[in-house]
Structure 1
Amino acid sequence: MIDIIPHGEHIVEFRLAAPPVNAMDVASLRALNGAFSDAAAAGRQGVILSGVPGIFSSGIDVIALLDGDAAAVRDYWTEVFTLAARMALAPMPVVAAIGGHCVAAGTLLALFSDYRIMARGDWGIGLNEVRAGVTLPDCFQLALRRAVGPLGAERMLVSGSLLDPARALALGLVDELAAPDEVVARARDKLLSLLALPRHAMLSTRAIARADLRDAFADVDALPVAAFVDAFLEPRTQAALRQVAGAIKRKLQGPRPDAGVARPAGAAAAIPA
């Protein structure tokens, strides 16, 4: 699920807390959607999105999805697209505090944030959906192109590669590196620096700068949820996902349940999307 942690009057932290790899089930997605809605209603001026030490998020809960029926799959992906829209349209800046591995849908959450701070260390970050037979729709690919440019996004998406923190910083996938125990504090400092600016000018400038992302998600009903779900349920995709699910189960049944978050290669096996 998620932990909601206030940082003073104006900033709130949403911490993903679903051990061992912070995979997001439908309850976590609903909780995040509700938390963003509540933060906007309460007039919060900044959000920190974080994980647990060593892992931000491994992405979707692929095992639960494969065990569910078509209706459950539709419900799940509706929550994912809705969360992306909430973040794209968020009235306040969001800073991702990435304390470790950040894979697939975890990377999408980071990309929809305004600013990304990642922990130094032996972590992996990226969108590796293609390795599990999943094709990201253009509205999600847009978020990556905004960060790393069209050619960088193409190479990352087509290969499904994960980057170490230094490479992610060099390409613009993350904006800053920090010591693992300082990531959340740096995220709070970043938000405080934004909130110290003239508020009307900061928010209106932010709205202009994020107009492409906002426009892509302005009409939630027009998002390609149905087409994505159909592709997700396609037999070839399901077969690839079952291979990934088998790898996850083997890791979780091993002598070290946290082995899947020990290095980028392990994170790549942990989650497809």
Structure 2
Amino acid sequence: MLDLIQHDDIHELRLARPPVNALDPQLVKLLREAVEASPGHGARALVLSGSPGMFSAGLDVPALMQLDRAAFRVFWGDFFGLCAALARAPIPVVAAITGHAPAGGAVLAIMCDYRIMARGAFKIGLNEVQVGLSVPECIQMALRRLVGTYRAERLMVEGAMLDAEQAHVVGLVDELVDTDLVVARAVIWLGELLGLPPQAMSATRRMARADLAEVFADPARLPVDEFLDGWFAPEAQRSLAALVARLKSRG
């Protein structure tokens, strides 16, 4: 479900939940714990990766639709906790976007320091509106940091999915490389960063990311109940049920 690959003191956390690395309660919990524990296990930097052609398809909607409100609240608290762990990580984190990254997959990438995406017909974006969900303000803020206020508004309100080239043009991702080079390039980028004077680099990084870190300073105060209200609203439930039906029809 989650593989750890060590590139010396750069640790790669590779999502390994076939077929699409969908984020269910167990994977989210494992990933949160791994991100939080990595510095204590000797990691000086992290790479978050997926499988060739698929970074993560986002939330495992069929599994999550089976949860009652109490269980879903626990899951969403863990998901916000994972976002906080990435946003506030004391070590640099690169998203090695090895393929498609809709919705929750895009959220994970947005929280990282840097994003390297596979070149080609892969899609990325916060398309929550398409399935009847709103994007929480803490996640909206993280996207605004990357692409600017108006561009973020247009992408989120429309639930737009961008291909890799479009995502690069607007600043949602920082680099494009061939699929089989994404992880290697992430390791090289982090190695160059770690080669800088460490105290100066870390202090500057901490100041530069202070706005994002502040938003996620207390995961318990993030709008979990507000998101739950939206998830269980009739409009969202109809849209999510239709999505599950489409997924089942694809086999």
TM-score, normalised via structure 2 length: 0.98
Deviations 1:118-153 (A, max 9, x none): 011111110100000100111010111111101110
Q: Residue by residue, what CA displacement relative to the aligned partner does 1:160-181 show, whole Å, maximum 9, x if unpaired?
A: 1111111110100000000111
Q: Tell me, which stretches of 5 or more residues in structure 2 are unaligned?
A: none
State the AA in 2 paired with 1:126: G
For 1:169 and 1:127, the matched residues in 2 are separated by: 15
Shift of 1:42: 2.2
Matches within 5 A, 1:177-256: 177-251=176-250, 253=251
* Aligned mates of 1:149, 1:190 — CA distance in 2: 24
1:34-86: CA deviations, max 9, x gaps? 10121022241100000000000000000011112112211111111000111
RCO comparison, higher one (Cα < 8 Å, 6+): 1
> What runs of 5+ residues in structure 1 fail to find an aligned partner?
254-273
Tell me how far 1:22 sits from its aligned partner.
Answer: 1.2
Q: Cα offset for 1:219?
A: 1.4
Q: Is the 8 A contact 2:77 2:219 kept in 1?
A: no
Contact 1:12 1:46 in 2 (8 A): yes
Aligned match of 1:148: 147
Instruction: Report the RMSD for the aligned CA atoms in angstroms.
Output: 0.9
Aligned length in residues: 251
Query: 1:125 aligned to 2:130?
Result: no
Instruction: Determine the structure 2 residue equivalent to 1:174.
Output: 173
- Residue 239 (structure 1) shift: 1.1
- Alignment-derived partner of residue 5 in structure 1: 5
Corresponding residue of 1:266: none
Distance across 2 between alignment mates of 1:104 and 1:21: 13
Q: For 1:13, what is the secondary structure of its paired residue? A: strand
Aligned equivalents of 1:72 and 1:221: distance in 2? 16
d(CA) in 1 for partners of 2:242, 2:152: 26
Given that 2:13 and 2:47 are in contact with CA atoms closer than 8 Å, whether structure 1 keeps it comes out as yes
In the alignment, what sits opposite 2:45? Answer: 46
Report the counterpart of residue 107 of structure 2 in structure 1: 108
Matching residue's letter, 2:228? V
Tell me which amino acid in the other structure corresponds to 1:4: L
Q: Which runs of structure 1 show a deviation greater than 4 angstroms over 4 or more consecutive aligned residues?
A: none
Q: Secondary structure, in 3 states, of the residue corresponding to 1:143?
A: helix
1:165 paired residue number: 164
Percentage identity across aligned positions?
49
Please name the residue that 1:87 is paired with.
Answer: 86
Matched letter for residue 92 of structure 2: P
Aligned residue for 2:22? Answer: 23
